[in-house]
Amino acid sequence: MAKCHLSVDQLKKELGRRGAATTGRKTDLIERLEAYERNQDFRGPIIVLPPEDNRDWPDRGFNQLLKEHKAYLPKITKEQVEGYFIYRIGEDKERVSDIKALKKGKDMMHSRILACSILVKEDIFLTGVVAAAMKKKVTYNYKIRIEKLSGDPIQSHCECPSGKGPHGTCKHIAAILLMIQDFTETGNLWIRKTCTETLQSFHCPKSLYEGKPIKAEDLPSKRKLNKDELLEDPRPAKYRRNEGYNDFVRSALINYCAHTSQDIALRYNYGSANIQIASMDHDYLELPLTERIIDHGVFRGSKEDRKRNKKSEQFQVMVQTQILEAYCI
């Protein structure tokens, strides 16, 4: 009856610390406080979790969680998940909020898990991304460690404010653990697919060809043609395979490009001429061949052009470059 000497404010403070209601008269507050002390605040025995493992979290070796990984996972029951959430913080007043996290995590399990990767070592490590419940562009990374033999959760961490590790119990962690529990029982993997993971129906080929590649001349055709007829040369027989025909084409191409300044792609099949060697072959001339080429290009225009551009050094350099390029095809 020592509680009778406490004031109403002190009684409400003690009840609030135990998570009890603080409404009613003083006699009701005293009876309620004595009932909480007699029943140890209506809590079960405190379960002490194993100490935190200080080993570093693995940073490589993770693979995307697939249905084939079911053989590596132990069977996880719903009781294990609920026990981890309820008795994780049995010494504080947030036990009810953990039960709510389980309910919210069950609602998020089917639509908010974006990615999940797994690594199997001495224990099972899970990591990935979970979308926020009420925001479209917010995601949280999570890390979960599960004992390999029994399937008991050992560690959990989430980037959200409620899931700080090493034993976080937010709704995002609940969604992952419930998804793993359902995966070990039914084989259903509740991970949202990306927009490009499923091939669009109008991009699906009717049939896939799995044979070896064939030559163009062996492609099937509706026209009944022999190979000789299909690749037949349309020129008359007397013009086929003539000696020097390639040189004739090269000479005609060079002359045409030199006189018209047209850039034809075929000219790049032939190497450029060596002006220095050509000048050595014509050493009998009065002037070197290179100077004759430049003079010929400068004075080839009309009289008006020569008078207007004779004193222009920029024009002289431009003409020299054009003439050398024309003769170096």
Average pLDDT over every residue of 64-88: 86
Q: Which residue has the higher pLDDT, 156 or 94?
A: 156
Q: What is the pLDDT of residue 91?
A: 42
Q: How far apart are CA 186 and CA 149, in angstroms?
A: 19
Percentage of the chain exceeding pLDDT 90: 14
Q: Is the pLDDT of residue 227 over 80?
A: no
| pLDDT at 313 exceeding the cut of 60 | no
Query: In which band, very low, low, confident or very high, does the pLDDT at 139 lie, cut at 50, 70 and 90?
Result: very high
Closest alpha carbon to 186 in 107, 73, 62:
73
Residue 90 pLDDT grade (very low, low, confident, very high; cuts 50, 70, 90): very low
* Size of the chain in residues: 329
Confidence of residue 54 (pLDDT cuts 50, 70, 90): very low
What's the pLDDT score for residue 96? 46
Averaged pLDDT for residues 9-37: 85
Q: What is the pLDDT of residue 143?
A: 93
If pLDDT is split at 50, 70 and 90, which confidence band does 314 have?
Answer: low
What does the pLDDT read at residue 318? 59
Quote the DSSP letter at residue 167. B
Q: What is the mean pLDDT of residues 10-28?
A: 85
Q: Per-residue confidence at 144, pLDDT binned at 50, 70, 90? A: very high
Could you please report the per-residue DSSP string of 244-275? Answer: THHHHHHHHHHHHHHHH----GGGGGSPPP-H
The better pLDDT of the pair 32, 142 is held by 142
Please say if the pLDDT value at position 294 is more than 90: no
Give yes or no for residue 329 having a pLDDT over 80.
no
Paired with 155 in beta bridges are 145
Start-to-end Cα distance in the chain: 114
Can you tell me whether residue 191 is helix, strand or coil? coil
Across-strand partners of 130?
Answer: 113, 140
Task: Tell me which residue has tokens 């010929």.
Answer: 296
pLDDT confidence of residue 168: 85
Highest averaged pLDDT of the listed ranges 109-123, 214-228, 295-309: 109-123
pLDDT score for 237: 83
More confident residue, 117 or 85: 117
Of the candidate ranges 90-94, 169-173, 305-309, the one whose mean pLDDT is the lowest: 90-94
pLDDT value at residue 307: 60
Say whether pLDDT at 317 is over 70: no
Q: How does pLDDT run across 182-191, given as a tens digit for each residue?
A: 999 988 888 8
270 pLDDT higher than 60? yes
User: 169-183, 197-211, 244-258 — which is least confidently predicted?
Assistant: 197-211
pLDDT reported for residue 176: 94
The residue among 92 and 287 whose pLDDT is bigger is 287
- Does pLDDT of 53 surpass 60? no
Rounded Cα distance between 176 and 174, Å, is 5
